[in-house]
């Protein structure tokens, strides 16, 4: 399983490098640029630059870029330490994404096998994860690969009843992204389910470690900005993010469908509705046989994504809804169905990747 994840991760990265080179030459028009310059432009885009800035100099507390406190600390801090060995912040970030995406792929297959799925179904789960339409973020110096490795690792430990490992990995997960906090109720449900809803294993108390990463992040907010929830303030001011009801997000997107066709309608609102509808449909299809803890995580995550105003990144966040890969793997037992799904998903990933490096990033 580890070899399979490694080979697939490397193959996809090579494909993305070739796509970036061709797009740089033929679409962006960088005919006179060297290979290194095009790769730098490709992999140091959008939030990747923010993470690198934090890794280089920490969180600014005054002047420009003080809003970078909205980015959780684990990924940029890890990049900073790896840079001591690999003397390039960008390459260090790419290395972390490569290693952790392989780890995430391994844990996804391991969970599938532990749940009783055969090797072929576990393999299909890996494929759907790695060619998800926004899975190119697993190859970018973003948090996606690291978050998924920690999340799936924690779930795998919990499935095996190794609650100390689940708690420790869970703590790192909540230091990586806010979505990690959903891990706590999901793993509590897993602990109850394993005991047939008649209490929990005493070792499950290690799950109390899970929020520690988030608490450390709140401490950073207070230490640097004098407010435990400074990130909420900066999200509102700089990204127009504030809390709304999930149905308000869907209603807003629906209203945009009635507007004139345009860039915002397609890139934000149509893709928001499509991502939500497809994820919800797959979770409903798997309602009878997905474990309760998987449902708790996926549905709460989906609600969290929809509870933020002007959320432009929902297609990227949907990548983390790992139970949908198990559903797709079961639906695609027929080889023709499997090939069709791979063709559609990988084509969309290629299209979104070119859009990401030429115009728009989720």
Distance between CA atoms of residues 113 and 5, nearest Å: 14
Please check the confidence at residue 35 and state whether its pLDDT lies above 90: no
Going by pLDDT thresholds of 50, 70 and 90, the confidence category of residue 28 is confident
Per-residue pLDDT averaged across 183-212, rounded? Answer: 93
For the ranges 31-35, 46-50, 127-131, 240-244, the lowest mean pLDDT is seen at 31-35
For the ranges 45-54, 75-84, 146-155, the lowest mean pLDDT is seen at 45-54
Contacts 24+ apart (CB under 8 A), 261-265: 263/360
Per-residue pLDDT averaged across 272-283, rounded? Answer: 95
How much is the pTM? 0.95
Per-residue pLDDT averaged across 89-116, rounded? Answer: 96
pLDDT at 38: 82
Distance between CA atoms of residues 152 and 360, nearest Å: 29
Please check the confidence at residue 127 and state whether its pLDDT lies above 80: yes
Q: How far apart are the first and last CA of the chain?
A: 30
Using CA atoms, how far residue 235 sits from 33, 84, 217, 241, 308, in Å, is 36, 31, 15, 5, 10
Going by pLDDT thresholds of 50, 70 and 90, the confidence category of residue 82 is very high
- Phi and psi at residue 159, in whole multiples of 5°? -60, -30
The pair of three-digit structure tokens given for residue 189, joined into one six-digit string: 């449900």
Neighbours of 65 (CB within 10 A): 14
pLDDT at 39: 84
From its phi and psi, is residue 199 left (phi > 0), alpha (psi between -120 and 50) or beta? Answer: left
Mean pLDDT of the chain: 93
Helix (H, G, I), strand (E, B) or coil at 243: strand
The pair of three-digit structure tokens given for residue 151, joined into one six-digit string: 């999340």
Going by pLDDT thresholds of 50, 70 and 90, the confidence category of residue 83 is very high
Please check the confidence at residue 241 and state whether its pLDDT lies above 90: no
* pLDDT tens for each residue of 162-179: 999 999 999 999 999 999
Distance between CA atoms of residues 111 and 152, nearest Å: 8
Per-residue pLDDT averaged across 269-290, rounded? Answer: 94
Q: Higher-confidence residue: 234 or 36? A: 234
Distance between CA atoms of residues 241 and 251, nearest Å: 16
pLDDT at 328: 97
Distance between CA atoms of residues 54 and 52, nearest Å: 5
Q: Is the dihedral of CA 189, 190, 196, 199 positive or negative?
A: negative
Asked whether 234 and 67 are in contact (CB, 8 A), the reply is yes
Per-residue pLDDT averaged across 71-90, rounded? Answer: 95
Mutual angle of helices 47-57 and 74-82, in 10-degree steps: 60
Helix (H, G, I), strand (E, B) or coil at 62: coil
């Amino acid at each position: 399983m580890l070899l399979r994840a490694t080979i697939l991760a490397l193959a996809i990265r090579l494909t993305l490098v070739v796509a970036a080179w061709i797009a740089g030459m033929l679409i962006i028009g960088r005919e006179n640029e060297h290979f290194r310059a095009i790769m730098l432009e490709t992999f140091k885009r959008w939030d990747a630059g923010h993470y690198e800035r934090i890794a280089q100099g920490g969180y600014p507390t005054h002047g420009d870029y003080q809003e970078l406190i909205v980015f959780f600390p684990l990924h940029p801090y890890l990049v900073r330490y790896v840079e001591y060995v690999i003397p390039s912040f960008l390459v260090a970030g790419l290395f972390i994404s490569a290693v952790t995406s392989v780890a995430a792929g391994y844990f996804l297959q391991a969970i599938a096998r532990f749940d009783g799925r055969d090797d072929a179904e576990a393999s299909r789960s890996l494929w759907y994860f790695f060619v998800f339409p926004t899975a190119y973020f697993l190859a970018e110096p973003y948090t996606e690969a690291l978050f998924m490795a920690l999340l799936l690792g924690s779930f795998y430990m919990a499935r095996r009843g190794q609650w100390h490992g689940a708690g420790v990995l869970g703590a790192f997960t909540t230091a990586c992204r806010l979505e990690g906090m959903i891990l706590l109720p999901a793993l509590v449900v897993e602990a109850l389910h394993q005991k047939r809803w008649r209490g929990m294993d005493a070792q499950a108390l290690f799950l109390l470690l899970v929020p520690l990463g988030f608490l450390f992040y709140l401490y950073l907010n207070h230490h640097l900005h004098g407010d435990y929830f400074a990130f909420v303030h900066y999200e509102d001011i700089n990204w127009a993010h504030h809390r709304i009801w999930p149905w308000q997000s869907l209603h807003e997107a629906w209203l945009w469908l009635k507007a004139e066709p345009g860039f915002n309608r397609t890139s934000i609102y149509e893709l928001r509705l499509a991502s939500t509808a497809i994820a919800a449909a797959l979770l409903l299809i798997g309602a009878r046989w997905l474990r309760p803890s998987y449902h708790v995580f996926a549905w709460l995550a989906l609600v969290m994504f929809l509870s933020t105003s002007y959320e432009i990144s929902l297609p990227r966040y949907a990548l983390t809804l790992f139970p949908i890969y198990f559903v797709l793997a079961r639906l695609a037992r027929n080889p023709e169905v499997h090939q069709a799904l791979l063709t559609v998903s990988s084509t969309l990933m290629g299209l979104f990747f070119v859009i990401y490096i030429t115009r728009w990033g989720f």
